[in-house]
Amino acid sequence: MSTRALLLAFLLLAAGALAGCAEEPPPEPQALVDQAADALLFAEGFAFRVDREGDLRDIGGWLIRSASGEYEAPSDVYADVKVALGGLIVQAAVASIEDRSWQQDPLSGEWSEIDPEDAITVAGLFGADGLPAVLTLDFTNPEYVGRGEVDGLPGEPLHQVAVDLDAARLSEISAGLIPPTVERADLWVSDEGEFRRVAVTDETGRWVIDVFDYGPDHVVEPPV
């Protein structure tokens, strides 16, 4: 092969390598929000975790530090809840199945069925009128922040989107845990378009809601 032919081949290979290394344009932030909403709306079930960073908020006499559990579509939830009680952090649990709700006493550990209107409405966060509606109707002006791994959600890079938030609906479905005055939020979405995290910062702290392990294996049963 002539020197000229070798040089041409080298240039073609170099051009191909550079093309392969070219960065892809960032995804459309609104498309990521829409995909995250659909992932929640059409999920058969998933595991979740809710954490409070900062000052605790009193909801029905409970100062909630965190909650973690399982969601089974379309409305069933079991959650272990850590609450502050007398200067200590103790654990109780709540469960909701269709139109029935149960609550575990954090001191005795005994379960009792309660009026669903008096229950801590973890289930309300995930149903069709919960976070899917918030993402679809109350998130506006999304801005793409970037892609990378996130503390507490290891093992995969996530897309981060910052949004303006009308928090009235989110405050209602969280039983006031999230105040209606919040105006901004951050959303993290996987490469596959699955909702992974939303973080909402208020005047005294931050609420973080994580969702993972999507699939049909999450079954919620009556605790008693």
What end-to-end distance do the CA atoms of the chain give, in Å?
82
What pLDDT, on the 0 to 100 scale, is given for residue 71? Answer: 95
Tokens of 124: 């309300």
Residue ranges in the chain whose pLDDT is less than 50: 4-21
Domains assigned to the chain: 28-212 (2.50.20.20)
**CA-CA distance, 124 to 171, in Å (whole number)?**
11
What pLDDT, on the 0 to 100 scale, is given for residue 121? Answer: 60
What pLDDT, on the 0 to 100 scale, is given for residue 56? Answer: 80
What pLDDT, on the 0 to 100 scale, is given for residue 176? Answer: 80
What pLDDT, on the 0 to 100 scale, is given for residue 5? Answer: 47
Q: What is the pTM of this model?
A: 0.84
Quick: pLDDT tens for 71-108: 999 989 999 988 887 777 888 899 999 889 998 988 88
**CA-CA distance, 17 to 15, in Å (whole number)?**
5
What pLDDT, on the 0 to 100 scale, is given for residue 221? Answer: 92
Exposed / middle / buried, residue 33 (Cβ in 10 Å: 0-12, 13-18, 19+): buried
What pLDDT, on the 0 to 100 scale, is given for residue 183? Answer: 93
DSSP string, 65-100: EEEEEEEETTTEEEEEEEEEETTEEEEEEEEEETTE
What pLDDT, on the 0 to 100 scale, is given for residue 59? Answer: 66
What pLDDT, on the 0 to 100 scale, is given for residue 2? Answer: 55
C-alpha of 193 from chain center: 13
What pLDDT, on the 0 to 100 scale, is given for residue 7? Answer: 44
* Rg of the chain in Å (alpha carbons): 22
> What's the sign of the alpha-carbon dihedral 161, 166, 172, 178?
positive
